[in-house]
Amino acid sequence: MFKFLSGLFSRDIGIDLGSANIVVYVKGKGITIDEPSVLAVRKVGSKGKKEVIAFGHPAKRMIGKTPLGIETVRPLQHGVIADFDMTEQMVGHYMSGANQKRRLLAHPRVAICVPACVTEVEKRAVVDATLGAGAREAFVVEEPLAAALGTGLPINEPRGNMVVDIGGGTSEVAVLSLGGVVISNSLRTAGDDFDNAIIAMMRQNYTLSIGDSTAEEVKFNIGSVIPLDEELEMEVKGRDLMDGLPKVVRVSSAEVREAIEPIILRIEDMLRYAVEQTPPELVKDIVDQGLVLTGGSSQLRGLSTRFSEVMNVPVHMAEQPLYSVAIGLGKLLETVDRGDKIAVTVDHSTV
Ligand SMILES: Nc1ncnc2c1ncn2[C@@H]1O[C@H](COP(=O)(O)OP(=O)(O)OP(=O)(O)O)[C@@H](O)[C@H]1O
Ligand SMILES: [Mg+2]
């Protein structure tokens, strides 16, 4: 559904509700919140009731370290809501955090992003969670559209703009022209699966059991998708699965690369398929202008070089890959204020 959004947003916020991170943009202020999408909860009573004891960074630090009765929850998995109640609480927490000093914004209007691949039911769940968390109105914006706007692509021109977003739970590619998505594809696999592949590799090669946070650390420190001039190494600590005792092993970047290779190949297939579906006139623009790569996982060593070789087009890295979507939402909120008209696909719901 195409709509002209002029005047729809007055004092509002944009939320990039990601599987790994939640980023909040407050109109007139910019990005005010950037926290992991994690909660820590304590079970209260025998009826399975849960009380939230930490949100965001403090909760992420607890992953894999909680005592009995406390657990950490990641309410969004692969870009969609896995735990509705926890999503609602998290959105409510950060929405009130974003509005602390402005009481007028107690019930803001919210532009919120969902991956292009979600079903209507999944989209509705995001809207319901946002309304349930206290929003007056909720506008769903397609994530690739916000990402493309956020990276500065001229999406309103009659030109093929290709954006690739590799996040925590989803990988997406979209071609946009004249303010709309021409084609989009997505995979429910991304950064989290790189971590899982590293956990599986450590198990298989070293009978070493490691947690999610350690796997992510290995990915940050020595993860790569092309051979490096100087291969990297690091010590990884965990529990030996054979005797149950602590163990330290040295792991190389080549091993990590091999572990994540199957996921990279799937993402590359998705990109090739997207080009196959794109009308030739727009492909011509992509050949000339290249594609823009964004999302937290786009920072994996060598990813832009590799995509450039595979796709045979220039690849430009977004300046702030973790913020592109939130910046794009912000641009939507700010631009409409100036009376400019931007054609975007939105779904609009009110309490
Ligand atoms: N330097 C880095 N190298 C590799 N991966 C990284 C780096 N920095 C962050 N990441 C990964 O990026 C992911 C988070 O990216 P992002 O915030 O874009 O995801 P998200 O928007 O929350 O998820 P999604 O859009 O898939 O629902 C995590 O998996 C994280 O491990
Ligand atoms: Mg994202």
CA gap 173, 292 in Å, rounded:
10
Q: Identify whether residues 272 and 211 lie together within a single domain.
A: no
CA gap 180, 130 in Å, rounded:
24
Is residue 167 lining ligand 1, measured as CB closer than 6 Å? yes
Is residue 220 lining ligand 1, measured as CB closer than 6 Å? yes
What's the CA-to-centroid distance between 19 and ligand 2, angstroms? 7
User: How do residues 235-281 score in pLDDT, each as one tens digit?
Assistant: 999 999 999 999 999 999 999 999 999 999 999 999 999 999 999 99
The set of residues, in sequence order, having a beta carbon less than 8 Å from that of 132 and lying 6+ positions away, is: 88, 92
Which ligand lies nearest the alpha carbon of 78?
A: 1
CA gap 282, 274 in Å, rounded:
12
Q: Identify whether residues 182 and 279 lie together within a single domain.
A: yes
User: How do residues 48-69 score in pLDDT, each as one tens digit?
Assistant: 788 999 999 999 999 999 999 9
What's the CA-to-centroid distance between 339 and ligand 1, angstroms? 34
Q: Specify the pTM.
A: 0.91
Lowest mean pLDDT among 118-122, 164-168, 220-224: 118-122
Asked if the model's pLDDT at residue 193 lies above 60, the reply is yes
Nearest residue (by CA) to ligand 1, atom 5, is: 297
Of 19, 49, 73, which one is at a domain's C-terminal end?
73
The half-sphere exposure of 93 on its side-chain side, counting CA atoms within 13 A, is 21
CA gap 162, 298 in Å, rounded:
15
Mean pLDDT of the chain: 89
Asked if the model's pLDDT at residue 344 lies above 70, the reply is no
Q: Which two tokens stand for residue 179?
A: 């303010």
Contact status, residue 348 vs residue 1, Cβ threshold 8 Å: no
Ligand 1 pocket test target in 297, 301, 306 with most atoms within 8 Å of CB:
297
Q: How many residues are given for the chain?
A: 351
CATH number of the domain enclosing 274: 3.30.420.40
Q: Identify whether residues 20 and 134 lie together within a single domain.
A: yes
Q: Identify whether residues 131 and 164 lie together within a single domain.
A: no
User: How do residues 151-180 score in pLDDT, each as one tens digit?
Assistant: 999 999 999 999 999 999 999 999 999 999
Which ligand lies nearest the alpha carbon of 147?
A: 2
Lowest mean pLDDT among 162-166, 287-291, 312-316, 347-351: 347-351
Q: Identify whether residues 28 and 85 lie together within a single domain.
A: yes
Nearest residue (by CA) to ligand 1, atom 13, is: 168
pLDDT of 95 reads 87
- For the chain, what is the radius of gyration of the CA atoms? 21
Q: Identify whether residues 170 and 307 lie together within a single domain.
A: yes
Q: Identify whether residues 280 and 343 lie together within a single domain.
A: no
Find how far residue 211's CA is from the centre of its chain. Answer: 21
Find how far residue 67's CA is from the centre of its chain. Answer: 29
pLDDT of 122 reads 86
What's the CA-to-centroid distance between 191 and ligand 1, angstroms? 6
What's the CA-to-centroid distance between 229 and ligand 2, angstroms? 30
Contact status, residue 153 vs residue 161, Cβ threshold 8 Å: yes
What's the CA-to-centroid distance between 18 and ligand 2, angstroms? 5
Q: Identify whether residues 99 and 227 lie together within a single domain.
A: no
| Segments forming the whole domain that contains residue 58 | 38-73
Which ligand lies nearest the alpha carbon of 21?
A: 1
Q: Identify whether residues 208 and 303 lie together within a single domain.
A: no
Q: Identify whether residues 120 and 216 lie together within a single domain.
A: no
Is residue 169 lining ligand 1, measured as CB closer than 6 Å? yes
Of 210, 232, 259, which one is at a domain's C-terminal end?
259
